[in-house]
Amino acid sequence: MTSTAQPTGSEGRKAHPEHLGHVIFITAAAAMGGFLFGYDSSVINGAVEAIRSRYDVGSALLAQVIAIALIGCAIGAATAGRIADRIGRIRVMQIASVLFTVSAVGSALPFALWDLAFWRIIGGFAIGMASVIGPAYIAEVSPSAYRGRLGSFQQAAIVIGIAVSQLVNWGILNLADGDQRGKIAGLEAWQWMLGVMVIPAVLYGLLSFAIPESPRYLISAGKVSRAKEVLAEVEGHTVNLDTRVTEIQEAMRREHKSSFKDLLGSKMGFLPIVWVGIGLSVFQQLVGINVAFYYSSALWQSVGIDPSASFFYSFTTSIINIIGTVIAMVFVDKIGRRPLALIGSAGMAISLALEAWAFSAKTAAGTLPPTEGTVALIAAHVFVLFFALSWGVVVWVFLGEMFPNKIRAAALGVAACAQWIANWAITASFPSLSDWNLSGTYVIYAVFALLSIPFVLKFVKETKGKALEEMG
């Protein structure tokens, strides 16, 4: 699943004002998959302790139930590109919508722990598909002058989904009088938290019928006249549509369907550029960002904060996440992807180190002294801010841009798959690591944040302002 060729003339470099609003609508509709990605990923935060109580499970097994969705994510991410090349980008969105809906209903009404785990895997498939199809589709319909900012819609939607899930969880908890297992209309509060996702899942499916198929896919399927109509929608009627179609067709003739073997080099297994993409994906997760979104409520409760306050802090963290993402969207096309990544790495390393220091003061009673507690809360919010204004956005933008046309589909799938595997490793290990040494766990995350700085300096090249055909 590769992205549209960009024209060499000025016509293709800038969106015409009368069409930019329509392009934004198309982008926002496609990014609804990102909203569900964020919502489904973080909504489990409100159910962790309730699941532990209801099924009487220890930290290790609980972590597997929480993290098992990420296995589905990896599979969905690895296969979405190939499926989209066969049946189209819009059909993949619709399949993901159905999977999100089924997962929400099943997760809200489980009859056993394994049953809940199964529905989380189904949701994981949908998340993985959305993680690939969203940025790829947006890159294919976006004029290059706005591609960075429009590509940022995916991450913006993800962080809004995270925030809404935490707000909904907090609201449901208050309806249940602060009890995660309190009954509301016959179901426990945590079941409502997981089931409410049906609403955005259905909306995603409906929106997919309101946006056009990717011009590049339409041309590959022989639907040239429809591709011209879509190109006129997103680039303006003054663009020479015949020239644009010819450019895309020539780009397609120069490439072939990417496959796994196309990613292989002679010495290091994968081609160097693929390793860079994998490295970006893995570092994004190894700093421990998803601990903040999967476990923050349980984490704050573990250091003596009551459930209602812990849910509220999870929500405020997600608001900071949105603020950081907006900052990144403003600057990603102005100062570039690489400088933002470096700024974020430095900020994350410092804030994670402060969290590690604060958690080292945890008392035998499981609480933090006032000073350390304040530092921990502030540092946690600062960490999320620096992640959001940097790695949260630029990694997705990089992955949508950095690969040569001939390997973009397969390389994006592999990089996204690596991201989900790293996410799984962090998510599955955190409960046991925190039982071992909470402060030491955050030291590990801080070290990865530090290591990401030389990685970016040595291996990552700036993609700001380049057409997709210039990559590689």
Print the SS3 string covering 104-152.
HHHHHCCCCHHHHHHHHHHHHHHHHHHHHHHHHHHHHHCCHHHHHHHHH
What residues contact residue 214 under an 8 Å CB cut-off, 6+ apart?
4, 88, 89, 137, 140, 141, 230
* Sign for the pseudo-dihedral over CA of 95, 96, 97, 102: positive
195 with 106: CB under 8 angstroms? no
* Per-residue model confidence (pLDDT) at position 306: 79
> What angle do helix axes 113-141 and 32-42 make, rounded to 10 degrees?
150
d(CA 80, CA 93): 10
* Listed residue (460, 428, 31, 446) closest to 207, CA to CA: 31
Partner residues linked to 373 by β-bridges: none
3-state secondary structure (DSSP) of residue 447: helix
The pair phi, psi for residue 183, each rounded to 5°, is -85, 135
Residue 343, Cβ density class (10 Å: 0-12 exposed, 13-18 middle, ≥19 buried)? middle
* Per-residue model confidence (pLDDT) at position 82: 83
* Per-residue model confidence (pLDDT) at position 152: 75
- What does each C-alpha distance from 135 to 31, 158, 311, 413 come to in angstroms? 8, 12, 30, 12
The pair phi, psi for residue 187, each rounded to 5°, is -115, 150
* Per-residue model confidence (pLDDT) at position 465: 60
Parallel, antiparallel, or unpaired for β 183-184 and 187-188?
Answer: antiparallel
Residue 319, Cβ density class (10 Å: 0-12 exposed, 13-18 middle, ≥19 buried)? middle
Question: Which residue is it, tokens 């999870």?
Answer: 314
3-state secondary structure 135-201: HHHHHHHCCHHHHHHHHHHHHHHHHHHHHHHHHHHHHHHHHCCCCCCCEECCEEHHHHHHHCCHHHH
pLDDT tens by residue, the chain, 472 residues: 444 334 444 444 444 545 777 888 898 899 999 999 889 888 888 888 888 888 888 878 888 888 888 888 888 887 888 899 889 999 999 999 999 999 999 999 998 889 999 999 999 999 889 888 888 888 888 776 677 778 778 878 888 898 899 899 999 999 998 888 889 988 999 999 999 999 999 999 999 999 999 888 888 888 888 988 888 887 777 777 888 888 778 777 776 566 677 787 767 788 888 999 999 999 999 999 988 888 888 788 877 787 788 888 888 998 998 899 889 888 888 888 899 999 999 999 999 999 999 999 888 777 888 898 889 999 999 999 999 999 988 997 888 788 887 787 778 878 878 888 898 899 889 888 988 899 999 999 999 999 999 999 999 888 776 655 555 5
Partner residues linked to 188 by β-bridges: 183
